[in-house]
Amino acid sequence: MEKHQLSKSSFIRSVQCLKSLFLYKNFYRLKDPLTKEKQAVFNRGTQVGILAQQLFPGGTDVSPSSPFKYDESVVKTQELIKAGATVIYEAAFMFDRVLVALDILVKKENKWYAYEVKSSAKISSVYVMDACLQYYVIKNVLPGLEDFSIININSSYKLAKQLDLHQLFKTVSVKQDANRNLPFIEDRITKAKNALAQELMPDVAIGEHCFSPYDCDFMGTCWKKQPNTSVFELSGVSKSKQFEWYKKGYRKIEDIPDNSDVAETVRKQIQAQKSGKEFIEKDKLAGFYQKIKYPVCFMDIEVMMPVVPVFEGTQPFQQIPFLFSVHCLKAIDAVPEHKLFIAEVNQDPRVEFIQQLIAATKDYPSVVVYDEQMEKSVINRLAQDYPEYKKELAALTQKIIDFAVPFQQQWYYRAEMKGSFSLKNIFPALCKDSSFEKLAINSGVQAMYAYLDIQQESDLFKVAEVKEQLSEYCQTDTLALMKVFCELYNKAI
Ligand code: SF4
C-alpha cells in the first residue's frame, strides 16, 4: 500500500499555512514542544471519544499499534467491512493518498453512518472542515455512506443517579456542509500536495494566519527573530494593526511614532517603553486602597470542569471548586497568616468547600481577588446548588474587591509588564520574584487537569504529590497577590 501524504491534521495545518505543512513533513524536529495544557486537552478528547463508543456498543476497535502504523488500520477496516461488521471504532480509510481515521462507523439497514466525536459543546468551523475532509475520503472508498455526523457534548445535560449517554451527547449531521465544501476540499488537497512536491519551502511571511484557527506550533522557528519589546507585545491592539506597523518596518515598540492613532491605554504602554518610566495615578490608587477594610484577606479558588459530569446534579463543564488559598493581613505591614483547603479526591467537594471557605473568610470585611469574574461565578453557582448557604455566600461576594481593576485601568503601568495584566506577569515585574516559574504546576488550567487526572489514580503517593503541587501553586498565587498589593500600596500612598 502506498504511504499516505496527508492526514486530517496535516490537511488542517496546510489550510492554515503551507509553510507549516512543509516544516511539519520535512523539519518535524523544529516543532515547538507540546504544552501541558494542549496535551491535557488531547487526552480529554481521547477519553470522551472512548466513552461515546458506548452509544454503539459491540464494535471492533482497529486503532493502530503505533501512530506510524495507520496502514494496518486501513487494511483491517476493509477486512471488517467485507466480513459484515456493523460497528467499527477508529475506522481508517485512504483515498488518493489522504488518510483519515473516524471515531465510529455504523451500518444500519445496509447503509453506513459515520460519527466523529468532539469533547466540546460547540461545533467550530474547524470541526466542520475536519468532517468535510473525512466525508470526502470515506465517500470515495465506501459507496454506501449515507450520512456523516458530529457527536458532541450537550452542555445543558444534568447528571442524575446514572450517566445517560444519550442525553450527554448530541448528534448533528454535517453532510450538507460536507457536500457543499467538496470543491474547496479538493482544491486545498491539491495545493497541499503541490507544496509537498516542491523542494523549496513555501515563502510565507508571518501574519495573522499564524494565530488562526490555532496558534501555530512553528512560531518558535518563524518568530524567533522578533526583538524584545516587539510591537506584538502591545496589549489592546488588534493583530491587523500590529501587522500594519510591522509591514511599515516598525519592529519595536520604540519604532511606533508618537502621533500614531491609538487608544490611551496603548499610548501609555508605548510611552512607558520609550521613557523607561512607570506610570502611576496616585489619586485613583489611593481611592482604591481607601475601600479596603482591615483585616483584609487575599483569596484564590481553583476549579475543575469535567466534560462528563461526575457528581449528581452537575452539568458538563460546570466549575467545581476543589482548592482555595487565603492569605490574611491584620494591617498593611503585619505578618500574614495563611489558610488552605484542598478536597479529597473522588468525592463531591462542594459542601466541605463551602463550609471551609465561609469559615476562612468570615472575619474579613474585605476579600481581595485578582479578576473577580471566576470567583464570583463559582460562589454564585454554589449558592444556587446549596441554597442553605445562600446567605453566607452572598455576604462573601459582597466583600470581594477586584485587584485587577487598577491594572486593567492602567492606574499603574511599567514596561516590564509587557502589555499584560495577568498576575503572573505583574508579580515578577513589580516584586522581582520568579516563584511561579519554579512551580511544577503554574497555571489554573494545569491545576484543573492535574486534579482531574488524580481522580482515577490508585497510587496514593502520586495523589499526595500532586495535591502538594496544587497547594503550592494556589498558595503562591495568593502570596503573589498580597505582595503586589503591598508593593503598589507603598508606591501610591
Ligand atoms: S509560524 Fe506562521 S508563517 Fe510560520 S509556519 Fe506557522 S503559520 Fe506559517
Q: What's the pLDDT band for 68 if we cut at 50, 70, 90?
A: confident
Q: What's the pLDDT band for 118 if we cut at 50, 70, 90?
A: very high
pLDDT of residue 37: 84
pLDDT of residue 341: 98
Name residue 339's beta-bridge partners. 326
Q: What's the pLDDT band for 418 if we cut at 50, 70, 90?
A: confident
CATH code, 6-197: 3.90.320
Q: Whose CA is nearest to atom 7 of ligand 1?
A: 210
pTM score, whole prediction:
0.90
What distance in angstroms lies between residue 19's CA and the mean position of ligand 1's atoms? Answer: 6
Overall size of the chain counted in residues: 493
Which residue from 28, 30, 209, 211 has its CB within 8 A of the most atoms of ligand 1, so it is best to mutate? 209
pLDDT of residue 297: 97
The strand ranges marked E within 54-156 are 60-61, 87-95, 98-108, 111-117, 145-153
pLDDT of residue 401: 98
Residue 241 Cβ inside 6 Å of ligand 1? The answer reads: no
Q: Amino acid identity of 172?
A: V
Q: Whose CA is nearest to atom 5 of ligand 1?
A: 20
Q: Indicate the SS3 state at residue 313.
A: coil
Q: Indicate the SS3 state at residue 83.
A: coil
Residue 19 Cβ inside 6 Å of ligand 1? The answer reads: yes
pLDDT of residue 350: 97
Which residue from 14, 16, 32, 204 has its CB within 8 A of the most atoms of ligand 1, so it is best to mutate? 204
pLDDT of residue 460: 93
Q: Tell me how far the alpha carbon of residue 480 is from its chain's centroid.
A: 23
Distance separating alpha carbons of residues 185 and 106, to the nearest angstrom: 24
Among all chains, which residue has been given the C-alpha cell 511614532? 257
Nearest CA to 70 out of 14, 7, 137, 133 is that of: 7
Asked if residue 151 lies in contact with residue 118, where contact means CB atoms within 8 angstroms, the answer is yes
Q: Taking 80 as the threshold, does the pLDDT of residue 391 lie above it?
A: yes
Comparing 122 with 43, the larger pLDDT belongs to 122
| CA distance from start to end of the chain | 75
The cell numbers describing 27, all together, are 523539519
Asked if residue 396 lies in contact with residue 390, where contact means CB atoms within 8 angstroms, the answer is no
Q: Whose CA is nearest to atom 1 of ligand 1?
A: 219
Q: Taking 80 as the threshold, does the pLDDT of residue 1 lie above it?
A: no
pLDDT of residue 214: 92
Using a pLDDT cut of 90, give the percent of the chain over it. Answer: 91
Residue 219 Cβ inside 6 Å of ligand 1? The answer reads: yes
Average pLDDT value for residue range 355-367: 98
Distance separating alpha carbons of residues 371 and 126, to the nearest angstrom: 31
Residue 195 Cβ inside 6 Å of ligand 1? The answer reads: no
Which residue from 18, 21, 30, 210 has its CB within 8 A of the most atoms of ligand 1, so it is best to mutate? 210
Q: Tell me how far the alpha carbon of residue 120 is from its chain's centroid.
A: 12
Q: Whose CA is nearest to atom 3 of ligand 1?
A: 206
Tell me if the domain spanning 283-492 has CATH number 1.10.8.60.
no
Comparing 38 with 465, the larger pLDDT belongs to 465
Q: What is the mean pLDDT of the chain?
A: 95
Residue 42 makes CB contacts below 8 A (sequence gap 6+) with none
Q: Which atom of ligand 1 is nearest to the CA of 206?
A: 3
The strand ranges marked E within 160-310 are 169-173, 279-280, 296-304
Q: What's the pLDDT band for 83 if we cut at 50, 70, 90?
A: very high
∠158-164-167 over CA atoms, to 5°?
65
Q: Whose CA is nearest to atom 2 of ligand 1?
A: 210
pLDDT of residue 163: 97
Q: Which atom of ligand 1 is nearest to the CA of 219?
A: 1
Asked if residue 101 lies in contact with residue 91, where contact means CB atoms within 8 angstroms, the answer is yes
pLDDT (tens digit, 9 = 90+) per residue, 443-488?
Answer: 999 999 999 999 888 899 999 999 999 999 999 999 999 999 999 9
Residue 204 Cβ inside 6 Å of ligand 1? The answer reads: yes
